[in-house]
A and B are shown apart, each in its own frame.
Chain A
Amino acid sequence: MTAAADSGEVVIIVGAKAGAAFGKFKDRERRLAILVELGTECLGAHTGEMRGEEGSNVLGFARFRLGGDEPSRLVELVRQPRTTEAAITAARQVFEGAGLQVAVCGDFAGRIIDRLVRPYYNAALRRLDEGLASAADLDATLKLGLGYPEGPIALLERTGLAYHHDVTQALFEAYGDAAYAPARRARVAKQRQGNLN
Chain B
Amino acid sequence: MAIVIKTVGVAGSGTMGTGIAIVAARAGFRTVVYDTREEALARARKQTEGFFANSVERKKLTQDQVGKILSSLSGTTDIAALATCDIVIEAVFEDLKVKHELLARLNKVCPPHAVFASNTSTLSIAEIAAGSGREDRVVGMHFCLPAQLMKLVEMSPGLKTSDATFQAAWDFCKALDQTPVKTQDSPGFILNYFLIPFHNDVIRLVEAGVAAPADIDRAIKAGLGYAMGPLELLDLVGLDTHLLVAEALYAATHEPRAAVPALVKRMIAAGQLGRKTGRGFYTYQGNAMFGGG
Which A residues form the contact surface with B (CB < 8 A)? Answer: 64, 66, 72-74, 76, 101-106, 108, 112-113, 115-117, 119-120, 123-124, 127, 131-134, 137-138, 140-142, 144-150, 152, 178-179
Q: Are B222's CB and A72's CB within 8 A?
A: yes
Q: Are A149's CB and B226's CB within 8 A?
A: yes
A140 and B189 alpha carbons, distance in the complex (Å): 13
Residue of B nearest to A148 (CB): B226
User: With A112-B219, A113-B223, A119-B197 in contact, do A132 and B152 touch (Cβ < 8 Å)?
Assistant: no
Of the candidate stretches B97-105, B165-173, B176-184, B240-248, the one touching chain A is: B176-184
Closest 10 CB pairs of A and B: A103-B219, A74-B222, A101-B222, A144-B152, A74-B223, A105-B211, A112-B219, A141-B190, A137-B181, A103-B215
Q: A66-B224, A133-B181 are in contact. List 9 more A-B contacts (CB 8 A).
A: A64-B223, A73-B222, A101-B222, A112-B215, A113-B223, A116-B198, A120-B201, A141-B181, A142-B194
User: With A64-B223, A72-B223, A142-B190 in contact, do A137 and B210 touch (Cβ < 8 Å)?
Assistant: no
Q: Would you call B195 an interface residue if the criterion is a C-beta within 8 Å of the partner chain's C-beta atoms?
A: yes
9 contacts between A and B (CB under 8 A): A104-B215, A123-B257, A131-B184, A137-B181, A140-B181, A141-B191, A142-B190, A147-B226, A148-B226
A144 and B181 alpha carbons, distance in the complex (Å): 10
Q: Are B209's CB and A106's CB within 8 A?
A: yes
Residues of B within 8 A of A66 (CB): 223-224
Residues of A within 8 A of B263 (CB): none
User: With A112-B211, A146-B195 in contact, do A132 and B184 touch (Cβ < 8 Å)?
Assistant: yes
User: Distance (Å) between the CB of B266 and the closest chain A CB?
Assistant: 21
Q: Would you call B220 an interface residue if the criterion is a C-beta within 8 Å of the partner chain's C-beta atoms?
A: yes
> Which chain B residues in 229-252 approach chain A with CB under 8 Å?
none
User: With A106-B209, A133-B184 in contact, do A117 and B194 touch (Cβ < 8 Å)?
Assistant: no
Q: Are A133's CB and B190's CB within 8 A?
A: yes
A105 and B217 alpha carbons, distance in the complex (Å): 12
Q: Would you call B227 an interface residue if the criterion is a C-beta within 8 Å of the partner chain's C-beta atoms?
A: yes
Residues of A within 8 A of B211 (CB): 103-106, 112
User: Distance (Å) between the CB of A104 and the closest chain B CB?
Assistant: 5
Of the candidates A64, A124, A137, A146, the one whose C-beta lies within 8 Å of that of B219 is A64
Of the candidates A76, A116, A138, A140, the one whose C-beta lies within 8 Å of that of B179 is A140
Q: Are A116's CB and B202's CB within 8 A?
A: yes
Q: Are B216's CB and A144's CB within 8 A?
A: no
Residue of A nearest to B154 (CB): A141
Of the candidates B183, B205, B216, B224, the one whose C-beta lies within 8 Å of that of A137 is B183
Residues of A within 8 A of B225 (CB): 149-150
User: With A64-B219, A138-B190, A144-B152 in contact, do A179 and B224 touch (Cβ < 8 Å)?
Assistant: no
Of the candidates B190, B191, B201, B218, the one whose C-beta lies within 8 Å of that of A103 is B218
Q: Are A132's CB and B183's CB within 8 A?
A: yes
A102 and B183 alpha carbons, distance in the complex (Å): 38
Residues of B within 8 A of A152 (CB): 194
A119 and B193 alpha carbons, distance in the complex (Å): 12
Of the candidates B154, B220, B222, the one whose C-beta lies within 8 Å of that of A116 is B220
A117 and B195 alpha carbons, distance in the complex (Å): 11
User: With A106-B211, A108-B210, A144-B179 in contact, do A137 and B190 touch (Cβ < 8 Å)?
Assistant: yes
Residues of A within 8 A of B226 (CB): 146-149
Residue of B nearest to A75 (CB): B222
